[in-house]
């Protein structure tokens, strides 16, 4: 996992470039659903964003999978994968090695 760590944030392309420097790779899209199925002991309140090529939703918006454990239980969702979106340091990304 890569915690972005910047107080100012970074765009997804910057995150991917930094991860590549560390030898990390983007995940295949199926990692999101599989992580949700297998990560049964995910801590309450943890929200992980899957580092992957964004996929378009039914409205054409680009999205990244995320897995979360909160009041509604454990779920698989999606969140902004737009190239212009600035991710701040609270987001944790899951990369492949």
- E strands, 1-97, are 2-3, 10-11, 47-50, 55-56, 62-70, 73-80, 86-87, 92-94
What pLDDT sits at residue 90? 85
What pLDDT sits at residue 7? 54
Task: Tell me the average confidence (pLDDT) per consecutive run of 10 residues in the chain, 97 residues long.
Answer: 57 94 97 98 97 96 97 95 90 94
Compute the Cα dihedral for 71, 10, 34, 1 and give only its sign: negative
Quick one: tokens of 66? 């995320």
Q: Where are the domains of the chain?
A: 2-94
Chain-centroid distance of CA 4 in Å reads 11
CA distance 51 to 97: 11
Query: What residues have CB less than 8 Å from 20, skipping those under 6 apart?
Result: none
| Contact between 55 and 36 (Cβ < 8 Å) | no
Strand partners, 96: 25
């Amino acid at each position: 996992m890569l915690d972005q760590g910047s107080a100012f944030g970074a765009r997804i392309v910057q995150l991917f470039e930094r991860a590549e420097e560390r030898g990390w790779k983007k995940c295949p899209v199926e990692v999101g659903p599989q992580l949700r199925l297998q990560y049964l002991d995910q801590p309450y309140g943890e929200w992980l964003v899957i580092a992957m090529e964004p996929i378009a939703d039914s409205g054409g918006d680009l999205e990244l999978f995320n897995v979360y454990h909160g009041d509604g239980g454990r779920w698989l969702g999606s969140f902004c994968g737009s190239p212009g979106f600035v991710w701040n340091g609270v987001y944790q990304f899951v990369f492949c090695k």
